[in-house]
């Protein structure tokens, strides 16, 4: 009896681990000359930055839609001047892109989570947030739901931003270009912290960010066709998922309490009128 329990437990943990993905299998280190490392048999990835270079990685697969989770622990201590970017992007001048960027800060001062959406090469859709926890103490889950209806950014399961498909109102939506997942840690002390006022303190280098538990329910795009994954009960409901009433309430809560910049309210920047998507509910 007890033996069976142990076996069940072992099998269960195996499936959990297997579904969490493996950095050796799913990603390739693209730059940084040894500063990016895959550890623990592919269960952990670290990026580092020092005065000579940052580092980065890229998914091996290209995806056209997905529900993608990554757990990230950001650079602790004095991370001012550093930026950890985690994003989906296609290539080329008319590329689409869905961005999370984490702007570092002095010890004890809050990180900024910067988000943006690019369609056909144009972005200018920034929203910035503080987080309701210290993102350097533990791993937290940063998720992107991207399907033909909507894009939802979430943090630990709480939606913080939605970019809906409003093609019917003449706004372009990323749905024709497959994207890779990218991440990088780099120096951006000309703008990242308090608009560039606080510089990177190189005496604190190397700066390190860590990644684990990558999980993608997604459509993998390969030589012109895509195959979409379903969950254990055979459902690919994520492909048509959108925010429910609770999700909309959560976004309102985050925007009310943690949003520090919204392009949709920046009349100085758009004196001729806010972007169309800002006025469509
Ligand atoms: C850093 O801390 C300062 C002071 O609290 C704050 O104004 C700023 O928004 C924080 N974040 C960044 C990335 O500058």
Integer Cα distance of 23 and 183 in angstroms: 12
- Closest ligand 1 atom to the C-alpha of 193? 14
245 φ/ψ angles, rounded to the nearest 5 degrees: -60, -40
The number of residues making up the chain comes to 281
Q: How far is the CA of 156 from the centre of ligand 1 (A)?
A: 22
- Chain centroid to CA 101: how far? 7
Give yes or no for residue 110 CB within 6 A of ligand 1: yes
Ligand 1 atom nearest 80 alpha carbon: 13
pLDDT the model gives residue 280: 78
- Spell out the per-residue pLDDT of the chain, length 281, in tens: 455 555 554 444 444 434 458 999 999 999 999 999 999 999 999 999 999 999 999 999 999 999 999 999 999 999 999 999 999 999 999 999 999 999 999 999 999 999 999 999 999 999 999 999 999 999 999 999 999 999 999 999 999 999 999 999 999 999 999 999 999 999 999 999 999 999 999 999 999 999 999 999 999 999 888 898 877 777 889 999 999 999 999 999 999 999 999 999 999 999 999 999 998 75
Distance in angstroms (rounded) separating the CA atoms of residues 239 and 119: 20
Indicate which residue of 101, 126, 241, 277 is catalytic.
Answer: 101
CA nearest to 99, candidates 139, 135, 146, 55: 146
Q: What pLDDT, on the 0 to 100 scale, is given for residue 4?
A: 56
- Ligand 1 centre and the CA of 81: distance in Å? 11
Write down the pLDDT at residue 46: 98
Please report the atom of ligand 1 found closest to the CA of residue 194. 14
Q: How far is CA 244 from CA 72, 229, 247, in A?
A: 26, 22, 5
Query: Which of 79, 109, 199 gets mutated to test ligand 1 (max ligand atoms within 8 A of its CB)?
Result: 109
Between CA 272 and CA 278 the distance in angstroms is: 13
Q: How many angstroms separate the alpha carbon of residue 193 from the centre of ligand 1?
A: 6
Spell out where the chain has E strands.
Answer: 27-31, 37-39, 44-49, 55-59, 62-73, 82-89, 97-103, 112-118, 127-129, 140-146, 150-155, 158-164, 180-187, 207-222, 225-228, 259-262
Residue ranges covered by each domain of the chain? 13-280
Nearest CA to ligand 1 atom 12: 193
> pLDDT tens digits, residue range 90-138?
999 999 999 999 999 999 999 999 999 999 999 999 999 999 999 999 9
**Domain 13-280, what fold?**
Jelly Rolls (2.60.120)
Sign of CA dihedral 21, 25, 26, 31: positive
Residues 6+ apart with CB under 8 A from 37: 29, 45, 46, 48
Pocket of ligand 1 contains residue 51 by CB under 6 Å? no
Q: Of the residues 130, 194, 260, which should be mutated to test ligand 1's pocket, given the most ligand atoms within 8 Å of the CB? A: 194
Query: Which has the closest alpha carbon to 83: 72, 91, 92?
Result: 72
In eight-state DSSP terms, residue 122 is B
Distance separating alpha carbons of residues 249 and 158, to the nearest angstrom = 10
Q: What is the dihedral of CA 168, 142, 154, 128, to 10 degrees?
A: -80
Per the DSSP assignment, residues forming a β-bridge with 98 are 88, 117
Residue whose CA lies nearest to ligand 1 atom number 2: 109
Q: Phi/psi at 33 (nearest 5 deg)?
A: 50, 60
Annotation says 241 is catalytic: no
> How far does residue 98's CA lie from ligand 1's centre (Å)?
23
Q: For residue 195, which atom of ligand 1 is closest to its CA? A: 14
Residue 106 DSSP label: S
Q: Is 109 exposed, middle or buried (0-12, 13-18, 19+ CB in 10 A)?
A: middle
- Could you check whether the bond before residue 206 is cis, i.e. omega within 30 degrees of 0? yes
Is residue 43 within 8 Å of 20, Cβ to Cβ?
A: yes
């Amino acid at each position: 009896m007890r033996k069976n329990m142990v076996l069940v437990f072992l099998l269960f943990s195996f499936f959990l681990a297997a579904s969490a993905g493996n950095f050796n299998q799913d990603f390739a280190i693209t730059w940084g000359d040894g500063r990016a490392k895959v550890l623990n048999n592919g269960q952990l990835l670290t990026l580092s930055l020092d005065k000579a270079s940052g580092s980065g990685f890229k998914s091996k697969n290209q995806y056209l839609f997905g529900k993608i989770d990554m757990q990230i622990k950001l650079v602790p201590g004095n991370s001012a001047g550093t930026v950890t970017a985690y994003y989906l992007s296609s290539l080329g001048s008319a590329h689409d892109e869905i961005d999370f960027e984490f702007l570092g800060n002095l010890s004890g001062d809050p990180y900024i989570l910067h988000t943006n959406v690019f369609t056909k090469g144009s972005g200018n859709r920034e929203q910035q947030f503080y987080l309701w926890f210290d993102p350097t103490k533990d791993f937290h889950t940063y998720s992107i739901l991207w399907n033909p209806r909507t894009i939802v950014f979430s943090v630990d399961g709480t939606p913080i931003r939605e970019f809906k498909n409003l093609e019917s109102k003449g706004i372009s939506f990323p749905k024709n270009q497959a994207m890779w997942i990218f991440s990088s840690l780099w120096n951006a002390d000309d703008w990242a912290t308090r608009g560039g006022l606080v510089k990177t303190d190189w005496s604190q280098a190397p700066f390190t960010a860590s990644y684990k538990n990558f999980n993608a329910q997604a459509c993998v795009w390969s030589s012109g066709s895509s195959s979409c994954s379903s969950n254990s009960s055979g459902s690919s409901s994520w492909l048509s998922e959108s925010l429910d009433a609770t999700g909309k309430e959560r976004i309102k809560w985050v925007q009310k309490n943690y949003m520090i910049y919204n392009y949709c309210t920046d009349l100085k920047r758009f004196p001729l009128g806010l972007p169309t998507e800002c006025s469509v509910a």
